[in-house]
Amino acid sequence: MQLKHLSKNNSSKDYYKKYLEDICFESEFIDNVTEISEKIDKETPDSIPFGALVNGQIVGFFTIELSNPTVNFKEEDFSCWMDSFHIAEIHHGKGYAKDILKMLPKILRKEYKYLKLLNLTVNLRNKAAISLYLKCGFSDTGEIYKGGPAGPQHIFTKNINKGNYERD
């Protein structure tokens, strides 16, 4: 498994967009493929798209949001948000989501040393994802985000860096 930043300067970005369009991400809990492609196109310093690859084939996608004003984001919390986390349906049950969640903190610690927390939201009805996040060390904050596209969502968090919290 490799996590690859799909940057604007990445010559293979169009390949990943095309591949995302070719595989089915549709679910009641996630963005549609058009919205995912737009997130890749609209990369900003605060919104970083990633592809998850196995043997060069994209199996999943997510963004890291370094600011998220819609969900009580406070810069002083040194938080980031995982958004639009998708594993292609044909790859469900292979452990890729768990692998991503285990790899991501190390990548974030290396690139953004000041980050302390990795946050995400998950639909209240998405029992499989809730179970996965809890098994991967996330905890439920007890807060509910009511603006989710498919309904109310739990806000989960995970401490990813017990060290230095000073910004560079």
Question: Residue 9 phi/psi, 5° resolution?
Answer: -90, 0
Q: What Cα–Cα distance (Å) separates residue 47 from each residue in 25, 160, 162?
A: 20, 18, 23
Which burial class, exposed, middle or buried, applies to 14 when counting CB atoms under 10 A from its CB (0-12, 13-18, 19+)? Answer: exposed
**Which CATH code fits 2-159?**
3.40.630.30
pLDDT value at residue 56: 79
pLDDT value at residue 143: 92
pLDDT value at residue 155: 94
pLDDT value at residue 6: 74
Q: What is the pLDDT of residues 115-135, one digit of tens each?
A: 889 999 999 999 999 999 999
Amino acid letter at 29? F
* Region class of 22: left (phi > 0), else alpha (psi between -120 and 50), else beta: alpha
Tokens linked to 107? 């990548």
51 forms bridges with which residues in the sheet? 4, 61
pTM: predicted TM-score of the whole model, two decimal places: 0.79
Residues in the chain predicted with pLDDT less than 70, given as ranges, are 7-44, 68-77, 162-168
